[in-house]
Amino acid sequence: MQFVEPIRDVKKISQIKNQLRWQWNIRDLLMFELGINSALRISDLLSIKVWDVFEDGGIVKPHFDLKEHKTWKKHRVTITPKVHDTLVQYYNTYPKVVENDENYLFFSKRNKFRWWDNITRKEARVLISKRCADVWLIWNYWWHTLRKTRGYQARKNWIPLEIIQNKLNHSSLTITKRYLWITAKEIEDACNKLDL
């Protein structure tokens, strides 16, 4: 398995989101925001349908549950305020998608917008890699980058490892620690910060 990088700099996250907003690419903006904030694996993210996030009349749900493809564990996804605002934009931007609650949220733009078909993992990989490259993140940024970014930023913001483990739906704390991959530079910075 190839190593995938998280987005470590929150300024880069903001730059990507701003580019997507400027281009009025609300579908990709939503995938980026929901991917980071939910910590879902790409297969689970791409399987989300309109009825998962919207109630009748376009009301955004506060959360939704899904069963993960890999682990078959239940995962509760909380709709954060920023994701909520983007979902409202999405609802207003893509009325043909939301008119059928069976449509995939991350619809395909192949063959004249196939609302009933979701984008592929390959398309998602290209999308994420390209968006990261646009802000000079050019190493290994793929599908898992969004999920890893959530874990990394949570740890950086002093969220307890047990909560991160729960959010990532890992079976043990050992897996979470290995997943977060602490760099030598971070260890050095921590030592210098706590210089007793």
What string of H, E and C letters represents the secondary structure of the chain?
CCCCCCCCCHHHHHHHHHHHHHCCCHHHHHHHHHHHHHCCCHHHHHCCEHHHHECHHHCECCEEEEECCCCCCEEEEECCHHHHHHHHHHHHHCHHHHCCCCCECCEECHHHHEEEEECCHHHHHHHHHHHHHHCCCCCCCCCCHHHHHHHHHHHHCCCCHHHHHHHHCCCCHHHHHHHHCCCHHHHHHHHHHCCC
User: What is the reported pLDDT for 183?
Assistant: 67
- State yes or no: is 70 an active-site residue: yes
26-35, pLDDT tens digit by residue? 999 999 999 9
78-112, pLDDT tens digit by residue? 999 999 999 999 999 999 889 999 999 998 877 66
Q: Cα–Cα distance between 22 and 30 in angstroms, integer?
A: 14
Catalytic residue among 17, 49, 131, 170: 170
Catalytic residue among 27, 49, 147, 167: 147
Catalytic residue among 12, 27, 41, 167: 41
- State yes or no: is 179 an active-site residue: yes
Catalytic residue among 11, 70, 122, 185: 70
The phi-psi region of residue 113 (left if phi > 0; otherwise alpha if psi is between -120 and 50; otherwise beta) is: left
User: What is the reported pLDDT for 2?
Assistant: 58
38-78, pLDDT tens digit by residue? 888 888 999 999 999 999 888 999 999 998 887 777 888 99
User: What is the reported pLDDT for 185?
Assistant: 77
pTM for the full model? 0.82
Catalytic residue among 131, 144, 148, 155: 144
Catalytic residue among 61, 114, 177, 179: 179
Using the predicted structure, report yes or no on whether residue 18 has a pLDDT greater than 50: yes
- State yes or no: is 69 an active-site residue: no
